[in-house]
């Protein structure tokens, strides 16, 4: 009879270690009202920590702008960042943790598969922000507080009207298979979460053959939309397949000659997901950042810095009046993120072959 309590304790211990940080954290009792957002963080401690580090897939300049907005509110907290594409970023985070080097506070990865994997590994620390309630259910983790969607990105078709006459311009995904676009299309590398989303959503709709034929177009792969749009502008490529809409807005605002197409089939969309890392070096600053970031003030800063769409309904779309808001797009998103996650290895292998990256 003595066995039962022992087993019980053991089971609890195992259960506890597996969900060591899953003991229901709760929303704090008295969120503090800051300028434009509520926070549960210990602001004094956050300031004392004096630093904050973000790993994100967004282009460097954008991250700098975003972090600068945060730093403006809290000058005592020095910010730093690392920018890598999703696969590389996740690989780096995992490597660091293995080496017991805890350098990052908050990560953003644009591939939900990796996010789920990290959650399973116990990589996130649960923190319930008062701002999370305003996010749609699918944009929050289950249980809440491990990760939250910071923005939604979608991929369509982009081209330079100076190099592509209106008559020839592609309107559907199928148009990209036209042989005249051979050697003239660019895409993102297989590391990219968005590219994975494009593949995952379009394959069942357009058929298995689509990407086989697409391979014959010999598309070139790049790490960031900045490179992709740059090459459209200077004419080295003609078309972007799976073009990130926020990049289009950004470049258009700078005066680049660009056109964007939302094919009727729909545009694949994936979230850019943010979460606080377990054993972060500056836990209080991380909490503070999360609260600010998820609030309308932070989301607006994100929109200004990176022209990204917020999942929050009460935040205006980025850019000017021309920008298509989320609810006017036909978004194609995976229903089952777990299946999406499992799809990644085969996607990476196939995609690498398509873009000529060997193996």
Partner 1 sequence: MTVDILKPKLNGQTIVSLAVILVVGFLVLLPMVFLVEESLNVGDPMAFPPQEYGLANFVSIFEEDINVLFNTVIIAVMATVMAILIGFTLAWILTRTNVPGRALLERLMELPYYMTPLVGALAWSIIAGPKSGFVNQIWKAVGGPGDLVDIYSHFGIAWIMALFEGTVAFVMISASMKSMDPALEESARVMGASKLRTTLTVTLPLVMPGVLGATLFVFAEMLGSFAAALVIGIPARIYVITTAIWDSTLSYPPDYGRASAMGLSLFVVMFAMLTFYRWRINKGSYATITGKAFRPRPMDMGGLAWLLLGVCILYVALAVVVPVGALLLTSLQRFATVILSQAEWTFANYQTALALGPVRTALFNSLLLGFGVASVGVLLMALLVWIIYRSRIRGAGMIEYLAMFPQAVPRLVFGLALLWAWLNIPIPIYGTLWLLALAYLTVMLPLGVRTLAGVVLQIDKSLEECARVCGAGWLYQMRSVTLPLLRPGILAAWLLIFMACVRELGVSVFLMGPNAKVIAPSIVAAFASSGTELTAAMALIQTATVVVALVILFRLTRGVTKEMS
Chain residues that interact with partner 1, rule: CB under 8 A = 53, 55, 59-61, 64, 80-88, 90-91, 94-96, 98-104, 111, 114, 190-191, 218, 220, 222-224, 226-227, 230, 233-236, 254-256, 344-345, 348, 355-359
Please give the Cα distance from 225 to 128 (Å, whole number). 32
Min dist CB 323 to partner 1, Å, is 21
Please give the Cα distance from 78 to 55 (Å, whole number). 15
Q: Which is nearer to partner 1, 140 or 344 (CB)?
A: 344
With 0-12 / 13-18 / 19 or more C-beta atoms within 10 angstroms meaning exposed / middle / buried, residue 10 is exposed
Could you say which DSSP state residue 152 is in?
Answer: E
User: Could you report how far apart the first and last alpha carbons of the chain are, in Å?
Assistant: 58
φ, ψ at 273 (rounded to 5°): -105, 135
Q: Which is nearer to partner 1, 114 or 261 (CB)?
A: 114
Q: Which is nearer to partner 1, 24 or 168 (CB)?
A: 168
Min dist CB 231 to partner 1, Å, is 8
Q: Which is nearer to partner 1, 132 or 305 (CB)?
A: 305
Min dist CB 11 to partner 1, Å, is 27
Min dist CB 111 to partner 1, Å, is 8
- Paired sense of beta strands 220-222 and 185-188, if any: parallel
E strand or H helix that includes residue 10: helix 3-18
Query: Is residue 324 a contact partner of residue 317, using CB atoms and an 8 Å limit?
Result: yes
Please give the Cα distance from 86 to 5 (Å, whole number). 45
Q: Which is nearer to partner 1, 229 or 292 (CB)?
A: 229
Nearest to 310 by CA among 156, 152, 193: 152
Q: Rounded to an integer, what is the distance from CA 168 to the centroid of its chain? A: 32
Please give the Cα distance from 114 to 87 (Å, whole number). 8
Q: Which is nearer to partner 1, 5 or 255 (CB)?
A: 255
Please give the Cα distance from 150 to 274 (Å, whole number). 6
Min dist CB 234 to partner 1, Å, is 4
Min dist CB 279 to partner 1, Å, is 12
> Which stretches of the chain are assigned E, i.e. beta strand?
32-33, 38-39, 51-56, 78-83, 106-109, 148-159, 185-188, 220-222, 239-244, 259-261, 267-276, 331-332
Min dist CB 200 to partner 1, Å, is 15
Q: What is the largest CA-CA distance in the chain?
A: 83
Q: Which is nearer to partner 1, 211 or 222 (CB)?
A: 222
Q: Which is nearer to partner 1, 261 or 348 (CB)?
A: 348
Min dist CB 297 to partner 1, Å, is 22
The residues pairing with 106 across neighbouring beta strands, listed in sequence order, are: 54, 276
With 0-12 / 13-18 / 19 or more C-beta atoms within 10 angstroms meaning exposed / middle / buried, residue 281 is middle
Q: Is the peptide bond before 187 cis (omega within 30 degrees of 0)?
A: no
Q: Which is nearer to partner 1, 132 or 270 (CB)?
A: 270
Min dist CB 110 to partner 1, Å, is 12
């Amino acid at each position: 009879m003595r066995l039962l309590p022992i087993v019980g304790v053991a089971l609890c211990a195992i259960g506890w270690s597996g969900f060591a940080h899953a003991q229901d954290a709760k929303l704090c009792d008295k969120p503090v009202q800051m300028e434009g957002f509520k926070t549960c963080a210990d602001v004094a401690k956050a300031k004392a920590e004096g630093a904050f580090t973000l790993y994100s897939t967004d282009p460097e300049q954008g991250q700098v702008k975003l972090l600068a907005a945060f730093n403006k509110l809290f000058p005592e907290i020095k910010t730093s960042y690392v920018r890598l594409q999703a696969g590389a970023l996740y690989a780096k985070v995992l490597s660091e943790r293995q080496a017991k080097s805890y350098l990052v506070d908050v990560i953003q990865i644009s591939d939900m598969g990796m996010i789920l994997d990290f959650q399973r590994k116990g990589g996130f620390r649960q923190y319930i922000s008062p701002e999370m309630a305003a996010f749609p259910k699918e944009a929050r983790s289950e249980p809440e507080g491990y990760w939250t969607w910071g923005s939604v990105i979608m991929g369509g078709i982009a081209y330079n009207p100076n190099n592509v006459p209106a008559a020839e311009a592609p309107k559907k995904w199928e148009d990209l298979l036209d042989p005249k676009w051979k050697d003239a299309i660019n895409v993102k590398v297989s590391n990219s979460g968005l590219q994975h989303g494009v593949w995952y959503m379009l394959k069942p709709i357009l058929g298995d053959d689509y990407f086989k034929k697409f391979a014959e177009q010999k598309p070139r792969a790049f790490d960031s939309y900045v490179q992709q749009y740059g090459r459209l502008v200077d004419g080295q490529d003609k078309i972007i397949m799976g073009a990130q809409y926020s990049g289009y807005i950004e470049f258009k605002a700078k005066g680049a000659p660009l056109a964007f197409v939302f094919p009727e089939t729909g545009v694949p969309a994936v979230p850019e997901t943010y979460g606080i890392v377990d054993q972060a070096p500056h836990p209080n600053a991380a909490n503070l950042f999360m609260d600010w970031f998820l609030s309308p003030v932070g989301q607006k800063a994100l929109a200004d810095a990176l022209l990204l769409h917020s999942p929050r309904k009460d935040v205006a779309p980025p850019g000017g009046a021309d920008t298509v808001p989320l609810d006017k797009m036909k978004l194609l998103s995976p229903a089952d993120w777990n299946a999406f996650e499992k799809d990644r290895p085969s996607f990476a292998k196939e995609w690498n072959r398509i873009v000529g990256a060997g193996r």
